[in-house]
Structure 1
């Protein structure tokens, strides 16, 4: 079970790992995009961290909402609205709850994915963050249905997200600046898929 304090710890851990990986994420983006994804994500999660430490929201939903708003206001390019929407949708899906379990996590991930797909008009196979998040959700659902433990379900979800990231290396980008490259985008990992994987992995490790 994860209460507000645990959710806050998870967000702070995400902020830390994104800061660590910002240059790597930016290098991935430089190959096929604007070259600012890692720096923008670090700025956004840095702002989210400051927000949580200065306002101390009381429920998991309030925390996720604060993160979503910080990402929308601070992350440039497409990533801000997409990640912001993901966190805002997740926030709404668990409104009123004081503790979150594995089933709540599935509901949150589903809501987040829906938000990303609607906002980004993206589906699996277009070389976007959806290619990491959707397999992660499907693997999580399957694991829960099979009665897996929380740890097993999280591990299976993260493994599916990693497979999704690797899959983006084999396909042509169909969204954003990367789509201009056509077949030249093959061989490159999508930075949004990678940052999604990093976030999902951190959640799994801390949940």
Structure 2
């Protein structure tokens, strides 16, 4: 039996993916700020927690929410609630991710792959960052590639999500030994080597949380 064909999730009931994501970011607020303090402003965790917290409050007020709608709320909350570049970057990612899901009833591996790639494309449309620049792209791009590679290899949805998470972890860790080429950290030159990029870390948390939330509930 091709298990990939039956591993699906009803989008109308999947707003929990975003609610659990809010919890993950808020729990890691201090951790993200500590990482950011080494070569950045030290406020990444605070800003992320603020934006995701606004999303959580709005979702609580709305009650049960579909995944596309919850992602739209998250996108708006991040664009409004996070200063600097991260609000637009993550806001664009989630906005385009959500757009790929609209009008669909079930989330399967193929649709998730479309949404993930759409989110990455949306982010790249407003950022010049590439793999190797010590940014969240070093987490997101390999994760996207790994998910699609797993599907091409015949893996089911759950295993493809696991491959995505593993690639996100590797991408995050790769930033430790990269020299920053974008943002405030780039001013440090070689002194930026030896520390993780906070955006890469938060992106890893996001992707792993999404994978865990969906993977645990696939039928």
Structure 1 length as normaliser, TM-score?
0.95
The alignment status of 1:143 with 2:154, answered yes or no, reads no
Q: Which residue of 2 is the match for residue 193 of structure 1?
A: 200
Aligned 8 A contact 1:162 1:197 in 2 = yes
Tell me if structure 2 keeps the 8 A contact 1:129–1:190. Answer: yes
Change (3 A) 1:58 1:96: farther
Contact 1:60 1:97 in 2 (8 A): no
* Alignment counterpart, residue 119 of structure 2, candidates 112, 116, 119: 112
CA contact (8 A) 1:90 1:111 kept: yes
**Counterpart secondary structure, 2:132:** coil
Q: Which has the larger radius of gyration?
A: 2
Q: Return closer, same or farther for 1:168/1:64 CA change in 2, 3 Å cut-off.
A: same
Does the C-alpha gap of structure 1 residues 31 and 164 become closer, same or farther in structure 2, counting only changes over 3 Å? same
Q: 1:31-60 deviations in whole A, cap 9, x for unaligned? A: 111111011111111111111221247543
Residue 106 of structure 2 corresponds to residue 96 of structure 1: no
Q: Work out the CA distance in 1 between the residues paired with 2:69 and 2:159.
A: 28
- Residues 55 and 74 (structure 1 numbering): CA distance in 2 closer, same or farther, change over 3 Å? same
Higher mean alpha-carbon deviation, 89-98 vs 25-34, is at 89-98
TM-score by length of 2: 0.90
Unpaired runs of 5+ residues, structure 2, are 1-7, 215-219
1:57–1:116 Cα change, 3 Å: farther
Q: 2-side partners of 1:107 and 1:90: how far apart?
A: 8
Counterpart among 160, 163, 177 of residue 153 in structure 1: 160
Structure 2 partner of 1:129:
136
CA contact (8 A) 2:18 2:67 kept: no
Take 1:162 and 1:203, find their aligned partners in 2: how far apart are those partners? 14
Give me the CA root mean square deviation: 1.3
The correspondence for 1:80, drawn from 82, 87, 91, is 87
Structure 1 contact 61–97 (Cα < 8 Å) conserved: no
Aligned residues: 207
Query: What is the CA distance between 1:108 and its match in structure 2?
Result: 1.1
